[in-house]
Amino acid sequence: MALSFGADDYITKPFNIKIVLKKIQVVLDRGNQNRENRLRMKDLMIDFDNRVLKKRDTIIYLTPTEFDLLNIFVKHKNTVLTRDVLLEKLWDSKNNFVDEHTLTLNISRLRSKLDDENNKYIKTIYGVGYKFSEE
């Protein structure tokens, strides 16, 4: 009856705890195999593992800094990020420095690649910073 309602498996009583633990491990492993580090939002698909952005099934080429910036925005979706926070997060462990002009330029380029007449993903919060949103 359980299988007809959508269950993958069942265990009858009395049961051996080793069998229960093995069945749990199989289900957990199956879940980990299907997990992909991808995000879909509106007409965008971001594959973080392969650093690929697609917009309506067309690959959008991003520079490493643009992709890092997109990653920061997505991780902090709907949160206002100041320019100082963005600059600090873009400064990598190899001390590759990104200055304010470069940040402005990369945000502008990223906007031009993401936004269109129907979608505005990166919003400027005047006097504060930027916010990434699907609205």
Q: Residue 32: its pLDDT value, please? A: 57
Within a domain: 107:
yes
Looking at residues 28-40, what average pLDDT do you find? 68
Within a domain: 76:
yes
Within a domain: 100:
yes
Entry pTM: 0.69
Contact 40, 33 (CB under 8 A): no
Q: Residue 96: its pLDDT value, please? A: 67
Within a domain: 89:
yes
Q: Provide the number of structural domains found in the chain.
A: 1
Within a domain: 118:
yes
| Helix extents (H) in 3-133 | 17-34, 64-75, 83-90, 100-114
Within a domain: 112:
yes
- Residue 119: pLDDT band with limits 50, 70, 90: confident
| pLDDT(48) > 80 | yes
Within a domain: 90:
yes
Looking at residues 15-35, what average pLDDT do you find? 74
State how far Cα 111 lies from the chain centre.
17
Residue among 104, 110, 106 at smallest CA distance from 55: 110
Selected residue with higher pLDDT from 9 and 95: 9
State the average pLDDT for the chain: 84
Q: Residue 36: its pLDDT value, please? A: 59
Looking at residues 15-32, what average pLDDT do you find? 78
Half-sphere exposure of residue 12: CA atoms within 13 angstroms, side-chain side? 2
- Residue 28: pLDDT band with limits 50, 70, 90: confident
The angle formed by the CA atoms of residues 25, 27 and 30, to the nearest 5 degrees, is 110
Q: Which domain holds residue 89?
A: 60-132
CATH of the domain at 67: 1.10.10.10
| pLDDT(31) > 80 | no
Within a domain: 16:
no
| pLDDT(50) > 70 | yes
Q: Which residue has the tokens 């006097």?
A: 127
pLDDT, one tens digit per residue, over 81-110 is: 998 888 888 876 556 667 788 889 999 999
